[in-house]
A and B are shown apart, each in its own frame.
Chain A
C-alpha cells in the first residue's frame, strides 16, 4: 500500500512539470506584454520594453520556464502585475473559502446522490425512480448560475431566510453549496443507480440472502461496497471540478474565493496570478485523483494486487 502511494506520488512530478509547461506556453501567447500591463496605457513604448527586459520577457520560453520552476520550488510564484504583491500572499487567503465551498458541496452531493441512487435502484421503474430520473436530468442540465439566481430569488428575496451574498457565518454558504451540490448529486445518483443495479444479479448477493441477511444489510454491507468504485471516481471528478469550477457561483454569491481571483486575473491580464492559480488547481486535481485511487485500493483489495503485485 505504501509502495503504491509512493509510486503514484513520483508519477505526479513529471505530470506536474508538463502541466506547468503547457500553461506557461498558453499564458505567454496572451496579447499584452507584462510591461504594458504593469505600467498602463500611458507609459511610453521604451519604458514598456525596459520593464519587459527586467522581467525576462524576451528570454526564450524554455529559459523562462526553468526559472519559473526553480523559483516556484522556493515558494516564489512571482509578483502580481496588478497588486505588486507576491502572488502567493494573494492566493493563500482565498483558498479556505473555495475549499470549504467545494468540500461542503461534495459532501452534500455524495450523501444525497448515493442515497437517492440506492433508492432509485431498489425501486427501479417505480414512480419514485421515474421522478428521480426527471429531477436528475433537470439538475444535471440547468446551469449553476441559473440555479443560484433562482434560489436567491426564492430564499433571499421572497422568503428572506438566507442572505443573498457575502461571506461570514454558515448561512452564507447554504445557497452556494446547494447550487454546486445539486447538479453533482444528479450525476452521482445516476452512477450509483446503475452500478447498484449491476450488483443485484451477482452470485454473492444470493449467498448473502442465503445467509439470512436483511435487505438493508445486503445493500450496505454487500452491494454498495462493490458498486462504489465508479461512484468514487465520479465524486472525485466532481470535487476536483468544484475546486476550480466554482468561479460562477462565487461570483453570483459574491464570495471572495479562488474563482473570483482567477476571473479578475484574466480581466486584468495578471499573468503570474493566473499562472499560479491554474498550477495550484491542477495540483489539487492530481491530489484528488490520487485520493480516489487510494480509495479504490481500500475498497477493492484486487487493485493493489494488480498494480503492486501482492497485497501484503
Chain B
C-alpha cells in the first residue's frame, strides 16, 4: 500500500435521499499506479461519477463515504477533513468534467480562472502568475494564448474550453487527474485531439489519469488498464488488451458486442433489459436478470476473483471456466 499513485480500497458511498439510503458505489477497489491511464467504463448511472467525486471529496449533499479507504501515495485521504481535501484538490488531485460549456464560470476571463489555482495553491507572486498561466495554456495547445487569456468562456469553442479546463487541472502538476467523460460532449475530431493531449501530458508530467467514459472506443485508444463498472460494483478489471481480446464477464462481452466493428460483419447485439434502479438492487449477481448465462447460482453473491494473472472478474461462471 506504500506504492505511488491512487489506491481505492473497498470503497462504498451512501447517499441519503428522501426515499431512503442508496448505495451508488459499493465495495469498489482499484489501483491507479503513478503515470498510468486507467479507464472506468459502464453505462450511465452505474456510479462512475460518484466514485470520482468521492475521491475528490466532492460528493453531493447527503452523500458520504460509508466504507473503505482511498490512499494517495499511501496517505488515507478518505479520512481527510474538508479543509485538508481543499488543500489537495486542484494541486495534487484535479478533475475535469463532461460539459466544457458550463464548467467554466461564464463571467470570469479564462486566464483568471486558470490563475485562481495558482492563487489557491502556490505562493507565486502576482506578477509572475500570468506567465505560468500562459505557459500551461501553450502546453495544452491553446493557440494565441496571450489573447485567449483575456477571453471569456462564451468566446471559445467547446474543444478550447475543455483545453482550458485541462490547463486549470494541470497547472500544479497533480499526481492524479480525474477526467469524467471529458470528451462525451465533443465531436469526434476534437475528441481525438483531447485524448492525444491527455496522453502526452501524462508522459510529460508523469500524472496518473482516471479516465471515466462510457465509450469503449476511448478506452481502446489510450487506457493502460480498465475497470468495468455495473450498478456500483467493479465487475471486471484487467489490462486493456485482455479486455478486448478476452472479455470474461457477460456484461463486458455484451458491451463489446454492441460496439460496431469493421472487421466483423455479424449483427450488433444489445444487452437485453435495462439497468434496475438503485433502490431495487437484485439479490446476488446484480447483472443476473439481464445475463444470458444466468442460473440459480447467480442468486448468490458472485466472488471477485483473479481468473488469469491480473484479470479480475465478478462472476460465478467465469470462475467455473477457470476451475
Contacts and interface: CB of A to CB of B under 8 A. Distances in A.
A276 B128 CA distance: 57
Contacts of A53: none
Interface of A: 202-204, 206-214, 221-222, 225-226, 299-302, 305, 311
A209 B152 contact: no
Contact of A225 (B86, B108, B165): B108
Given A207-B165, A211-B90, A211-B117, A300 B106 contact: yes
Given A211-B168, A212-B121, A206 B107 contact: no
A299 B105 CA distance: 12
A150 B103 CA distance: 50
B152 A207 contact: no
Contacts of B87: 212
Contacts of A209: 58, 89
B58 A210 contact: yes
A217 B51 CA distance: 26
B244 interface: no
Interface centre among B56, B91, B103 (most CB of A within 10 A): B103
Contact of A212 (B90, B97, B103, B107): B90
29 contacts: A202-B102, A203-B97, A204-B102, A204-B104, A204-B105, A204-B106, A206-B58, A206-B97, A206-B103, A207-B105, A207-B165, A208-B105, A210-B56, A210-B58, A210-B89, A211-B94, A212-B87, A212-B90, A212-B91, A225-B105, A225-B108, A226-B106, A226-B107, A299-B107, A301-B107, A302-B106, A302-B154, A305-B154, A311-B155
Contacts of B169: 210
A204 B121 CA distance: 19
B120 interface: yes
A208 B97 CA distance: 12
A77 to B, nearest CB: 43
A277 B88 CA distance: 61
A205 to B, nearest CB: 9
Nearest to A210: B95
Contacts of A206: 58, 97, 103
A213 B154 contact: no
B146 interface: no
Interface of B: 56, 58, 85-91, 94-95, 97, 99, 102-108, 116-117, 120-121, 152, 154-155, 165, 168-169
A225 B152 CA distance: 14
B119 to A, nearest CB: 9
A207 B104 CA distance: 7
B160 to A, nearest CB: 16
Contacts of A214: 86
A302 B95 CA distance: 27
A222 B56 contact: no
Contacts of B106: 204, 226, 300, 302
A226 B104 CA distance: 12
B91 A207 contact: no
Contacts of A299: 107
B92 to A, nearest CB: 10
Interface centre among A212, A221, A222, A305 (most CB of B within 10 A): A212
B152 to A, nearest CB: 5
A207 B97 contact: yes
A305 B108 CA distance: 14
Given A203-B102, A204-B106, A207-B104, A212 B86 contact: yes
B112 to A, nearest CB: 10
B105 A222 contact: yes
A209 to B, nearest CB: 5
